[in-house]
Amino acid sequence: MLRVHFTPHDLQNIRIAQHPDPLWELVCSVCRLQTRQGPLDFGQWRGTAYDRLRRDPVVKGALHLLRLLIPASGYIPDFLTPSNTGGELFAGIDQVRGTPRGQLTRELTRLAESRPVPAWATTLGRPGDKGLVPLTKALATYHRALLQPFWPRIRTAIDNDIGRRASTLLGGGTQALLEGLRPLARWNSPTLEVDYPVDRDLHLAGRGLLLVPSYFCWGRPTALADPGLTPVLVYPVAKVPLDGEGATEQGLVRLLGRTRAAVLAEVANRNARTTSEVAEAVGVTLPSVSYQIGVLRDGGLVASRRDGKYVLHTATPLGLRLLGGGTPGLVDSPLPRGPFSLCSK
């Protein structure tokens, strides 16, 4: 278990990352390639990635280098996931390239206690040292080949989660936000108890906490190993499998009926929709929409919660999976393509 200890100042300084973090997604996705975990969430993406790796020796070489630093479990150096990237890949890569030599030495030494380190790591500081050039090239190559084609759907899944968390924060404050992390974490004021592979304590000491939603994180939240770095907690979001064909419009309509399929698609198009908003968008009466939402809720495709005088509806992970292939004829706006999952650093 990871116990995150808050002070009153920390509770006023909880932030949610506003964009997918490309380096956290990269690190977690390398973990996912090395195991069979999450076959429903990641199986189709893994198949696509393996096919690219068989055909492209440059990408295969990049993954080989990255796997030397990113094991499927256990310690992963923190310098691979720097803070304050602004959601930009090359800003993050620049930070990796500029990692202080002292931090590199500490973290690579720790890594070497459990596994061999790459050859370039042993030449740091010596004549002919090329620094982190091989690593930064591998990061860019891997991301471009195996993540960039799916980035719009990764971003949609994370945007949906951010919207839900922000709504919770506005409606219930930081306590509701932290309690909303169940079942991955339990808020036991003033400590957040997080499901974690090792037993440790993290004292925020007034620095606050950055929550980072992640597509490729799976199983449990993860955090930086060095307690002296900016505190972050990376957690999985709800998603549908990448590269999945999902349901076709015709198949979805035959399964649910046109009105019910349109209601599900409209609910999934936003972070949370009121009954009136869905009725107006779909073009049917309020009683009819209420009935259709009730049927979808009983089927596990929609979840509803009261927020003041309104009832808000969102698509469940099962509902998102059903819509995973997109249903362009049902609504004008694109459907979300997002999931639930975690990663261990």
What's the pLDDT tens digit per position in 182-203? Answer: 889 999 999 999 998 889 999 9
83 compared with 297, residue with greater pLDDT: 297
Whether 165 contacts 15, CB under 8 Å = no
Cβ contact 314:271 at 8 Å:
yes
Sorting pLDDT into bands at 50, 70 and 90, what band is 243? low
Q: Compute the distance between CA of residue 274 and CA of residue 150 in angstroms, rounded to an integer.
A: 30
Give the model's pLDDT for residue 341.
31
| 93-102, 147-156, 197-206, 252-261, range with greatest mean pLDDT | 197-206
End-to-end CA separation in angstroms for the chain: 14
> pTM above the 0.75 mark?
no
Q: What is the pLDDT of residue 336?
A: 29
Higher-confidence position of 239 and 125: 239
Can you name the residues that pair with 209 across neighbouring β-strands?
14
Is 341 within 8 Å of 218 (Cβ atoms)?
Answer: yes
Closest by CA to 155, choosing from 83, 82, 245, 215, is 215
Residues contacting residue 200 through CB under 8 Å, at least 6 positions apart? 2, 3
CA dist., res. 153 & res. 159, Å (int):
10
| Separation of alpha carbons 344 and 201, rounded Å | 16
Question: For the residues 78-88, what does the mean pLDDT come to?
Answer: 84
Q: What is the mean pLDDT of residues 247-263?
A: 74
Judge whether residue 54 has pLDDT over 80. yes
Query: What token pair was written down for 61?
Result: 């070489």
Q: What pLDDT shows up at residue 80?
A: 95
pLDDT tens digits for range 116-140: 887 777 666 555 556 688 899 999 9
For residues 18-33, average pLDDT: 94
- Tell me the mean pLDDT in the region 157-181: 90
Here the tokens at position 234 are 């990376």
- Cβ atoms < 10 Å from Cβ of 15: 11
pLDDT class for 281, splitting at 50, 70, 90? Answer: confident
**pLDDT of res. 324:** 58
Q: By the 8 A CB rule, do 159 and 119 touch?
A: no
pLDDT tens digits, 303-339: 998 888 888 898 887 887 777 543 333 333 332 223 2
- CA distances 96 to 73, 100, 103, 199, 206, Å, are 21, 9, 11, 28, 26
H-helix or E-strand containing 119? helix 119-122
Find the mean pLDDT for residues 99-107. 88
pLDDT at residue 86 greater than cutoff 80: no
Q: What is the mean pLDDT of the chain?
A: 84
Q: What pLDDT score was predicted for residue 115? A: 84
How much is the pLDDT for 331? 34
Distance set, CA 46 to CA 22, 147, 213, 241 (Å): 18, 11, 21, 10
With 0-12 CB in 10 A as exposed, 13-18 as middle and 19+ as buried, what is 43? Answer: middle
